[in-house]
Amino acid sequence: MNKKIKKILKKKNKTKIICLTAYSKNIASILDKHCDLILVGDSLGSVLYNYKSTKEVNLSTMINHSKSVRLGVNKSLMVVDMPYNTYRNPREALKNAKLLMKNSRCDAVKLEGGKKIIPSIKNLVKNNIPVMGHIGILPQTDKKFTFKGKEISERNRIINDAKLLEQAGIFSIVLECIEVKLSREVTKQLEIPTIGIGSSVNCDGQVLVIDDLIGLSQSKFKFVKKYIDVRKNIEKAVKRYKSDVIKKLFPGTKHSFRN
């Protein structure tokens, strides 16, 4: 088993697993020192491309961003999302996961869904491709983005899906917007670590979209905490640059070439 995956598994019930998304080299290289896992999420569809949904993200976009992220990741486990309609059956899943792994040199792939995608997951695991699961809100297929676990039937389905995915061989699972007590229950029932986003402190680890955390995006999700307002700082720098250029303060002699 991949050493980085082993390290993550050992953290269950001990220390929190730190995860963030990255879509390019520069950001990834900052996160790498501090994260256990870096996810090239298909959230890049909305964050970078203004797509209405992640359905529009394709494999080559994921490969290109992953190649860039790979340049910045050394220490962390690098996981890449398989985009919508790339794992509808075991053969398709294997063909596309191999393409992603080969081109991006990522460590693992992430697939969204429960019972329905078990055959695809089993085929990847059988072929030594490490897989991360993702249940709760499923941005690739859900129509409504409301938190999961209101109804008892939904709670049972989520617990059942989580167990089936674990049995299929995933090494970890993202719980997206799952009700507080339900995320505690899923985390308790699984031996593999759960990684929450909008799923309370009850998960083994936490993931956020980096652009949301640093205030580069303008999202206003309830589950996001903005730790810094990077937009404001970029704006300040650009204003100073503009003023310097207008006043002929930049470029100065130290930025110029003279014989």
Select 42 or 179, whichever has its Cβ closest to ligand KIV: 42
Q: What SS3 class is residue 130? A: coil
Contact call for residue 209 and ligand KIV (CB under 6 A): yes
185 is a catalytic site residue? no
Are the CB atoms for 118 and 165 separated by under 8 Å? yes
Q: Which residue is nearest to ligand KIV (CB)?
A: 41
Query: Quick one: DSSP state of residue 35?
Result: -
Rounded Cα distance, 157 and 109, in Å: 23
Count of helices and strands (H, E) across the chain: 10, 8
Rounded Cα distance, 123 and 117, in Å: 10
Q: Could you say which of 20, 174, 177, 214 contacts ligand KIV (CB under 6 A)?
A: 174
Contact call for residue 104 and ligand KIV (CB under 6 A): no
The active-site residue out of 56, 92, 112, 176 is: 176
- Segment holding 185, helix H or strand E: helix 180-189
Contact call for residue 211 and ligand KIV (CB under 6 A): no
Contact call for residue 28 and ligand KIV (CB under 6 A): no
Contact call for residue 207 and ligand KIV (CB under 6 A): yes
Select 43 or 183, whichever has its Cβ closest to ligand KIV: 43
Contact call for residue 106 and ligand KIV (CB under 6 A): no
Contact call for residue 43 and ligand KIV (CB under 6 A): yes
Interacting residues with ligand KIV between 4 and 23 (CB under 6 A): 21
Q: Which residue has the tokens 């499923």?
A: 138
**Cross-strand pairs, 131:** 109
Q: What SS3 class is residue 135? A: strand
Q: Could you say which of 32, 36, 42, 107 contacts ligand KIV (CB under 6 A)?
A: 42
Are the CB atoms for 125 and 131 separated by under 8 Å? yes
Q: Rule CB under 6 A: which residues touch ligand KIV?
A: 21, 39, 41-43, 81, 174, 197, 207, 209
